[in-house]
Amino acid sequence: MKAVTWQGAKDIRVENVPDPVIEEPTDIVIRVTSSGLCGSDLHLYEVLAPFMEPGDVVGHEPMGIVEAVGAEVPHLDVGDRVVIPFNVSCGHCWMCERDLQSQCETTQNTEHGTGASLLGYSKLYGQVPGGQAEYLRVPHADYGAVKVSKERPDDRYLFLSDVLPTAWQAVEYADVPDGGTLLVLGAGPIGDMAARIGMHRGHRTIVADLVDERLARVSGRGAETIDITDLDETAVAERVRELTAGRGADAVIDAVGMEAHGSGGVKAVHKLVGLLPDAIAEPLMLKAGVDRLAALTTAIDAVRRGGTVSISGVYGGAADPLPLFQMFDKQIQVRMGQANVRRWTGDILALLDQDEDVLGVESFATHHLSLEEAPDAYATFQKKQDGAVKVVFRP
Protein backbone atom coordinates (compact mmCIF):
# COMPACT_ATOMS: atom_id res chain seq x y z
CA MET A 1 0.00 0.00 0.00
CA LYS A 2 0.96 3.63 -0.27
CA ALA A 3 1.80 5.52 2.91
CA VAL A 4 3.18 8.91 3.93
CA THR A 5 6.57 8.27 5.52
CA TRP A 6 9.07 10.36 7.45
CA GLN A 7 12.55 10.12 5.92
CA GLY A 8 14.40 12.95 7.66
CA ALA A 9 13.84 16.49 8.93
CA LYS A 10 11.55 18.20 6.40
CA ASP A 11 11.72 15.11 4.20
CA ILE A 12 8.30 13.48 3.85
CA ARG A 13 7.80 10.93 1.06
CA VAL A 14 5.05 8.68 -0.17
CA GLU A 15 6.37 5.11 -0.29
CA ASN A 16 5.11 1.60 -0.85
CA VAL A 17 5.04 -0.33 2.44
CA PRO A 18 3.61 -3.76 3.37
CA ASP A 19 -0.16 -3.90 3.92
CA PRO A 20 -1.05 -4.07 7.63
CA VAL A 21 -2.63 -7.25 9.01
CA ILE A 22 -4.40 -8.25 12.22
CA GLU A 23 -1.73 -9.03 14.85
CA GLU A 24 -3.74 -9.09 18.09
CA PRO A 25 -7.32 -10.25 18.66
CA THR A 26 -8.29 -6.68 19.66
CA ASP A 27 -7.06 -5.23 16.32
CA ILE A 28 -8.98 -4.15 13.30
CA VAL A 29 -7.66 -3.09 9.90
CA ILE A 30 -9.38 -0.22 8.14
CA ARG A 31 -9.29 1.13 4.61
CA VAL A 32 -8.58 4.79 5.27
CA THR A 33 -11.00 7.15 3.52
CA SER A 34 -9.89 10.42 5.16
CA SER A 35 -6.86 11.35 7.26
CA GLY A 36 -6.04 14.75 8.75
CA LEU A 37 -2.75 16.65 8.81
CA CYS A 38 -2.20 18.19 12.23
CA GLY A 39 -0.08 20.90 13.82
CA SER A 40 1.43 18.04 15.86
CA ASP A 41 2.72 16.47 12.64
CA LEU A 42 4.69 19.67 12.11
CA HIS A 43 6.65 19.01 15.33
CA LEU A 44 7.74 15.66 13.86
CA TYR A 45 8.50 17.34 10.58
CA GLU A 46 11.38 19.21 12.15
CA VAL A 47 11.78 19.62 15.91
CA LEU A 48 11.17 16.03 17.05
CA ALA A 49 13.31 14.59 14.26
CA PRO A 50 15.70 12.87 16.75
CA PHE A 51 12.87 10.55 17.80
CA MET A 52 11.85 9.54 14.28
CA GLU A 53 13.28 6.81 12.10
CA PRO A 54 13.37 6.86 8.31
CA GLY A 55 10.37 4.95 7.02
CA ASP A 56 8.06 5.72 9.97
CA VAL A 57 4.47 6.02 8.69
CA VAL A 58 2.96 9.25 10.03
CA GLY A 59 -0.58 10.54 10.60
CA HIS A 60 -2.91 10.21 13.58
CA GLU A 61 -6.30 11.53 12.47
CA PRO A 62 -7.82 8.72 10.36
CA MET A 63 -11.24 7.36 9.63
CA GLY A 64 -12.38 4.69 7.24
CA ILE A 65 -14.15 1.42 6.57
CA VAL A 66 -13.45 -1.75 8.53
CA GLU A 67 -11.72 -4.34 6.33
CA ALA A 68 -10.79 -7.01 8.89
CA VAL A 69 -11.79 -7.62 12.50
CA GLY A 70 -9.88 -9.44 15.24
CA ALA A 71 -11.61 -12.12 17.31
CA GLU A 72 -12.11 -9.85 20.33
CA VAL A 73 -13.77 -6.80 18.77
CA PRO A 74 -17.46 -7.58 19.29
CA HIS A 75 -18.85 -4.14 18.44
CA LEU A 76 -17.54 -3.99 14.85
CA ASP A 77 -18.12 -5.82 11.57
CA VAL A 78 -16.45 -5.64 8.18
CA GLY A 79 -17.95 -2.67 6.31
CA ASP A 80 -18.61 -0.51 9.40
CA ARG A 81 -17.53 3.12 9.28
CA VAL A 82 -15.19 4.15 12.12
CA VAL A 83 -13.18 7.12 13.38
CA ILE A 84 -9.92 6.28 15.14
CA PRO A 85 -8.71 8.28 18.20
CA PHE A 86 -5.15 9.54 17.95
CA ASN A 87 -4.24 7.99 21.30
CA VAL A 88 -4.10 4.24 21.63
CA SER A 89 -5.83 3.30 24.86
CA CYS A 90 -7.08 0.01 26.23
CA GLY A 91 -10.25 1.07 28.04
CA HIS A 92 -9.79 -1.12 31.10
CA CYS A 93 -6.60 -0.10 32.94
CA TRP A 94 -6.48 2.11 36.05
CA MET A 95 -6.00 5.30 33.96
CA CYS A 96 -8.60 4.49 31.31
CA GLU A 97 -11.13 3.71 34.05
CA ARG A 98 -10.55 7.24 35.33
CA ASP A 99 -11.03 8.76 31.87
CA LEU A 100 -7.32 9.58 31.50
CA GLN A 101 -6.99 7.68 28.23
CA SER A 102 -3.91 9.61 27.13
CA GLN A 103 -2.14 8.09 30.16
CA CYS A 104 -3.29 4.50 29.45
CA GLU A 105 -1.11 2.13 31.50
CA THR A 106 -1.37 -0.67 28.95
CA THR A 107 0.21 1.43 26.18
CA GLN A 108 2.37 3.81 28.26
CA ASN A 109 5.96 4.08 27.03
CA THR A 110 7.80 3.67 30.30
CA GLU A 111 11.23 3.37 28.67
CA HIS A 112 10.83 7.00 27.56
CA GLY A 113 8.79 8.11 30.57
CA THR A 114 5.90 9.09 28.32
CA GLY A 115 2.16 8.46 28.31
CA ALA A 116 -0.08 6.37 26.07
CA SER A 117 1.08 5.44 22.58
CA LEU A 118 -0.09 7.67 19.77
CA LEU A 119 -0.67 6.70 16.16
CA GLY A 120 2.22 7.75 13.90
CA TYR A 121 4.05 9.66 16.56
CA SER A 122 7.73 8.79 17.03
CA LYS A 123 9.65 6.48 19.37
CA LEU A 124 8.55 8.65 22.30
CA TYR A 125 5.00 7.41 21.78
CA GLY A 126 5.36 3.79 20.77
CA GLN A 127 6.36 4.11 17.11
CA VAL A 128 2.91 2.89 16.04
CA PRO A 129 2.48 3.04 12.23
CA GLY A 130 0.22 5.99 11.41
CA GLY A 131 -2.91 6.72 9.45
CA GLN A 132 -1.80 8.81 6.46
CA ALA A 133 -1.89 5.62 4.44
CA GLU A 134 -4.26 3.50 2.39
CA TYR A 135 -4.76 1.00 5.21
CA LEU A 136 -4.22 1.11 8.96
CA ARG A 137 -3.93 -1.52 11.67
CA VAL A 138 -5.80 -0.16 14.70
CA PRO A 139 -4.53 -1.59 18.03
CA HIS A 140 -7.06 -1.79 20.89
CA ALA A 141 -9.87 -1.17 18.41
CA ASP A 142 -12.22 -3.04 20.75
CA TYR A 143 -12.21 0.15 22.82
CA GLY A 144 -10.80 2.89 20.60
CA ALA A 145 -12.59 2.69 17.26
CA VAL A 146 -15.71 4.88 17.28
CA LYS A 147 -18.49 3.61 15.01
CA VAL A 148 -20.28 6.43 13.18
CA SER A 149 -23.27 6.73 10.88
CA LYS A 150 -22.80 6.14 7.14
CA GLU A 151 -25.22 8.91 6.24
CA ARG A 152 -23.02 11.99 6.03
CA PRO A 153 -19.73 13.04 4.41
CA ASP A 154 -16.47 12.01 6.10
CA ASP A 155 -15.74 15.53 7.33
CA ARG A 156 -18.81 15.43 9.57
CA TYR A 157 -17.03 12.83 11.74
CA LEU A 158 -13.32 12.92 10.87
CA PHE A 159 -12.36 15.54 13.46
CA LEU A 160 -13.53 13.26 16.28
CA SER A 161 -10.08 11.63 15.98
CA ASP A 162 -8.23 14.65 17.36
CA VAL A 163 -9.29 18.25 16.65
CA LEU A 164 -12.70 18.04 18.30
CA PRO A 165 -11.78 16.18 21.51
CA THR A 166 -8.59 18.25 21.88
CA ALA A 167 -10.48 21.51 21.50
CA TRP A 168 -13.33 20.21 23.67
CA GLN A 169 -10.92 19.23 26.46
CA ALA A 170 -9.18 22.61 26.14
CA VAL A 171 -12.51 24.37 26.75
CA GLU A 172 -13.47 22.00 29.58
CA TYR A 173 -10.11 22.55 31.27
CA ALA A 174 -10.41 26.33 30.72
CA ASP A 175 -13.40 26.26 33.06
CA VAL A 176 -14.79 29.61 31.87
CA PRO A 177 -17.22 31.04 34.44
CA ASP A 178 -20.73 32.09 33.39
CA GLY A 179 -20.55 35.40 31.57
CA GLY A 180 -16.76 35.07 31.41
CA THR A 181 -14.29 35.78 28.64
CA LEU A 182 -12.23 33.12 26.90
CA LEU A 183 -8.99 34.07 25.14
CA VAL A 184 -7.71 31.56 22.59
CA LEU A 185 -4.08 31.91 21.49
CA GLY A 186 -3.62 30.45 18.00
CA ALA A 187 -6.20 30.11 15.24
CA GLY A 188 -4.88 26.90 13.71
CA PRO A 189 -7.29 23.96 13.64
CA ILE A 190 -7.18 23.49 17.42
CA GLY A 191 -7.60 27.16 18.36
CA ASP A 192 -10.27 27.68 15.70
CA MET A 193 -12.28 24.70 16.94
CA ALA A 194 -11.81 25.68 20.60
CA ALA A 195 -13.17 29.14 19.75
CA ARG A 196 -16.17 27.56 17.99
CA ILE A 197 -16.88 25.38 21.04
CA GLY A 198 -16.43 28.37 23.37
CA MET A 199 -18.93 30.41 21.39
CA HIS A 200 -21.32 27.47 21.14
CA ARG A 201 -21.30 27.43 24.94
CA GLY A 202 -22.07 31.15 25.02
CA HIS A 203 -18.69 32.47 26.14
CA ARG A 204 -17.36 35.78 24.91
CA THR A 205 -14.40 34.57 22.83
CA ILE A 206 -11.30 36.47 21.71
CA VAL A 207 -8.77 34.83 19.38
CA ALA A 208 -5.17 35.97 18.76
CA ASP A 209 -3.01 34.91 15.81
CA LEU A 210 -0.85 36.51 13.14
CA VAL A 211 -2.21 34.88 9.99
CA ASP A 212 -4.89 36.99 8.29
CA GLU A 213 -7.06 34.26 6.83
CA ARG A 214 -7.04 32.28 10.07
CA LEU A 215 -8.27 35.35 11.96
CA ALA A 216 -10.87 35.99 9.24
CA ARG A 217 -12.21 32.43 9.65
CA VAL A 218 -12.83 32.80 13.38
CA SER A 219 -14.18 36.34 13.14
CA GLY A 220 -16.56 35.07 10.44
CA ARG A 221 -18.01 32.81 13.13
CA GLY A 222 -18.39 35.59 15.65
CA ALA A 223 -15.12 35.74 17.61
CA GLU A 224 -13.33 38.97 18.44
CA THR A 225 -9.77 38.92 17.12
CA ILE A 226 -6.35 40.33 17.93
CA ASP A 227 -3.76 40.42 15.16
CA ILE A 228 -0.44 39.96 16.96
CA THR A 229 1.73 40.63 13.90
CA ASP A 230 3.22 43.85 15.27
CA LEU A 231 2.76 43.14 18.98
CA ASP A 232 5.23 41.61 21.39
CA GLU A 233 4.01 39.27 24.16
CA THR A 234 3.41 42.10 26.65
CA ALA A 235 1.48 44.16 24.11
CA VAL A 236 -0.85 41.23 23.38
CA ALA A 237 -1.67 40.86 27.07
CA GLU A 238 -2.16 44.63 27.32
CA ARG A 239 -4.73 44.50 24.46
CA VAL A 240 -6.55 41.69 26.26
CA ARG A 241 -6.69 43.74 29.48
CA GLU A 242 -8.07 46.71 27.52
CA LEU A 243 -10.88 44.44 26.30
CA THR A 244 -11.65 43.01 29.75
CA ALA A 245 -12.04 45.95 32.14
CA GLY A 246 -8.33 45.90 32.90
CA ARG A 247 -8.35 42.45 34.52
CA GLY A 248 -7.43 40.01 31.76
CA ALA A 249 -9.33 37.02 30.41
CA ASP A 250 -11.05 34.65 32.84
CA ALA A 251 -9.51 31.75 30.95
CA VAL A 252 -6.83 31.40 28.29
CA ILE A 253 -6.29 28.46 25.96
CA ASP A 254 -2.78 28.07 24.53
CA ALA A 255 -3.42 26.39 21.17
CA VAL A 256 0.04 27.22 19.84
CA GLY A 257 2.74 25.17 21.55
CA MET A 258 6.47 24.88 21.16
CA GLU A 259 6.81 26.42 17.72
CA ALA A 260 5.34 29.77 18.71
CA HIS A 261 6.14 32.84 16.76
CA GLY A 262 7.62 35.59 18.92
CA SER A 263 10.68 34.80 21.01
CA GLY A 264 13.54 34.01 18.67
CA GLY A 265 15.95 32.59 21.24
CA VAL A 266 15.21 28.92 20.95
CA LYS A 267 14.81 28.84 17.20
CA ALA A 268 18.52 28.15 16.88
CA VAL A 269 18.20 25.17 19.25
CA HIS A 270 15.31 23.79 17.16
CA LYS A 271 17.39 24.02 14.02
CA LEU A 272 20.42 22.55 15.77
CA VAL A 273 18.48 19.63 17.22
CA GLY A 274 17.22 18.83 13.74
CA LEU A 275 20.77 18.66 12.41
CA LEU A 276 22.56 16.80 15.20
CA PRO A 277 23.03 13.02 15.25
CA ASP A 278 20.18 11.45 17.23
CA ALA A 279 22.48 10.19 20.01
CA ILE A 280 23.40 13.77 20.88
CA ALA A 281 20.09 15.40 20.04
CA GLU A 282 17.84 13.07 22.05
CA PRO A 283 19.29 13.92 25.50
CA LEU A 284 19.48 17.58 24.51
CA MET A 285 15.77 17.57 23.67
CA LEU A 286 14.81 15.77 26.86
CA LYS A 287 17.00 17.70 29.30
CA ALA A 288 17.24 21.21 27.89
CA GLY A 289 14.71 23.96 27.42
CA VAL A 290 13.82 23.74 23.78
CA ASP A 291 10.42 25.37 23.59
CA ARG A 292 9.58 28.76 22.24
CA LEU A 293 7.46 30.05 25.08
CA ALA A 294 5.95 33.17 23.51
CA ALA A 295 2.38 31.89 23.56
CA LEU A 296 2.62 30.45 27.06
CA THR A 297 4.10 33.62 28.54
CA THR A 298 1.36 35.61 26.80
CA ALA A 299 -1.22 33.26 28.32
CA ILE A 300 0.20 33.74 31.83
CA ASP A 301 0.30 37.50 31.37
CA ALA A 302 -3.14 37.84 29.75
CA VAL A 303 -5.10 35.68 32.19
CA ARG A 304 -6.75 37.54 35.05
CA ARG A 305 -5.67 36.92 38.63
CA GLY A 306 -7.27 33.69 39.82
CA GLY A 307 -8.06 32.65 36.25
CA THR A 308 -7.26 29.45 34.36
CA VAL A 309 -4.69 28.63 31.70
CA SER A 310 -5.51 25.57 29.61
CA ILE A 311 -2.64 24.33 27.47
CA SER A 312 -3.29 22.12 24.46
CA GLY A 313 -0.26 23.25 22.47
CA VAL A 314 2.49 20.65 22.76
CA TYR A 315 5.69 21.48 24.65
CA GLY A 316 8.76 19.27 24.84
CA GLY A 317 11.58 20.76 26.89
CA ALA A 318 12.40 19.57 30.39
CA ALA A 319 14.00 22.76 31.66
CA ASP A 320 12.17 25.66 30.07
CA PRO A 321 12.37 28.94 31.93
CA LEU A 322 8.83 29.88 33.01
CA PRO A 323 7.61 32.94 34.92
CA LEU A 324 6.90 30.95 38.08
CA PHE A 325 6.83 34.04 40.27
CA GLN A 326 4.05 35.54 38.17
CA MET A 327 2.17 32.23 38.01
CA PHE A 328 2.23 31.88 41.78
CA ASP A 329 1.50 35.51 42.54
CA LYS A 330 -1.46 35.64 40.14
CA GLN A 331 -2.84 32.44 41.68
CA ILE A 332 -3.63 30.99 38.28
CA GLN A 333 -4.67 27.41 37.63
CA VAL A 334 -2.95 25.52 34.85
CA ARG A 335 -4.28 22.38 33.18
CA MET A 336 -2.77 20.65 30.19
CA GLY A 337 -2.10 17.39 28.41
CA GLN A 338 -2.86 15.28 25.39
CA ALA A 339 -6.56 14.96 24.83
CA ASN A 340 -8.28 11.97 26.47
CA VAL A 341 -10.14 11.34 23.23
CA ARG A 342 -12.60 8.63 24.33
CA ARG A 343 -13.59 10.66 27.37
CA TRP A 344 -15.31 13.22 25.12
CA THR A 345 -16.40 11.35 21.98
CA GLY A 346 -19.87 10.52 23.32
CA ASP A 347 -20.67 14.15 24.15
CA ILE A 348 -19.31 15.39 20.83
CA LEU A 349 -20.99 12.70 18.75
CA ALA A 350 -24.34 13.82 20.14
CA LEU A 351 -23.66 17.24 18.56
CA LEU A 352 -22.35 15.82 15.28
CA ASP A 353 -25.37 13.57 14.80
CA GLN A 354 -27.75 16.55 14.79
CA ASP A 355 -29.09 17.66 11.39
CA GLU A 356 -27.54 21.09 11.74
CA ASP A 357 -23.75 21.22 11.44
CA VAL A 358 -23.47 23.17 14.70
CA LEU A 359 -19.67 23.54 14.74
CA GLY A 360 -19.25 23.91 10.96
CA VAL A 361 -17.16 20.75 10.66
CA GLU A 362 -18.21 20.00 7.09
CA SER A 363 -16.61 23.22 5.86
CA PHE A 364 -13.70 23.12 8.33
CA ALA A 365 -11.05 21.62 6.04
CA THR A 366 -9.49 24.05 3.59
CA HIS A 367 -7.79 21.40 1.44
CA HIS A 368 -8.68 17.84 0.38
CA LEU A 369 -5.66 16.22 -1.22
CA SER A 370 -4.40 12.85 -2.40
CA LEU A 371 -1.65 11.06 -0.45
CA GLU A 372 0.78 11.81 -3.27
CA GLU A 373 0.42 15.49 -2.49
CA ALA A 374 1.57 15.00 1.12
CA PRO A 375 5.17 16.25 0.73
CA ASP A 376 3.97 19.60 -0.63
CA ALA A 377 1.11 19.74 1.84
CA TYR A 378 3.47 19.43 4.84
CA ALA A 379 5.62 22.27 3.50
CA THR A 380 2.64 24.50 2.69
CA PHE A 381 0.97 23.87 6.04
CA GLN A 382 4.19 24.57 7.93
CA LYS A 383 4.66 27.89 6.14
CA LYS A 384 0.92 28.66 6.47
CA GLN A 385 0.73 29.40 2.76
CA ASP A 386 -2.07 28.95 0.27
CA GLY A 387 -4.75 29.47 2.93
CA ALA A 388 -3.97 26.02 4.37
CA VAL A 389 -5.62 25.77 7.79
CA LYS A 390 -6.79 22.16 7.78
CA VAL A 391 -5.55 19.66 5.24
CA VAL A 392 -7.34 16.32 4.82
CA PHE A 393 -5.88 13.50 2.74
CA ARG A 394 -8.21 11.23 0.85
CA PRO A 395 -6.15 8.08 0.17
Residues within the interface to Zn ion (CB under 5 A)? 38, 40, 89-90, 93, 96, 104, 106, 162
Q: Is 73 or 266 the residue whose CB approaches ligand NAD more closely?
A: 266
Q: Is 84 or 302 the residue whose CB approaches Zn ion more closely?
A: 84
Residue 85 contact partner, candidates Zn ion, ligand NAD, none, CB within 5 to 8 A by sort of partner: none
Q: Is 38 or 273 the residue whose CB approaches ligand NAD more closely?
A: 38
Least Å distance, CB 242 to ligand NAD, is: 17
- Report the length, in residues, of the chain: 395
Q: Is 43 or 123 the residue whose CB approaches ligand NAD more closely?
A: 43
Q: What span, in angstroms and rounded, lies between the C-alpha atoms of 274 and 195?
A: 33
DSSP conformation class of 340: -
Q: What span, in angstroms and rounded, lies between the C-alpha atoms of 284 and 290?
A: 8
Secondary structure E strands in 202-340: 204-209, 224-227, 249-254, 303-311, 333-336
Residue 181 contact partner, candidates ligand NAD, Zn ion, none, CB within 5 to 8 A by sort of partner: none
Q: Which residues bind ligand NAD (CB under 6 A)?
A: 38-40, 42-43, 162, 166, 185-191, 208-211, 214, 228, 255-257, 260-262, 294-295, 298, 312-314, 338-339
Q: Are 184 and 221 in contact (CB under 8 A)?
A: no
Q: Are 207 and 216 in contact (CB under 8 A)?
A: no
Number of Cβ within 10 Å of residue 309's Cβ equals: 25
Least Å distance, CB 80 to ligand NAD, is: 25
Radius of gyration in angstroms for the set of CA atoms belonging to the chain, rounded to a whole number: 20
Least Å distance, CB 194 to ligand NAD, is: 9
Q: Is 281 or 294 the residue whose CB approaches ligand NAD more closely?
A: 294
Residue 187 contact partner, candidates ligand NAD, Zn ion, none, CB within 5 to 8 A by sort of partner: ligand NAD
Q: Are 85 and 341 in contact (CB under 8 A)?
A: yes
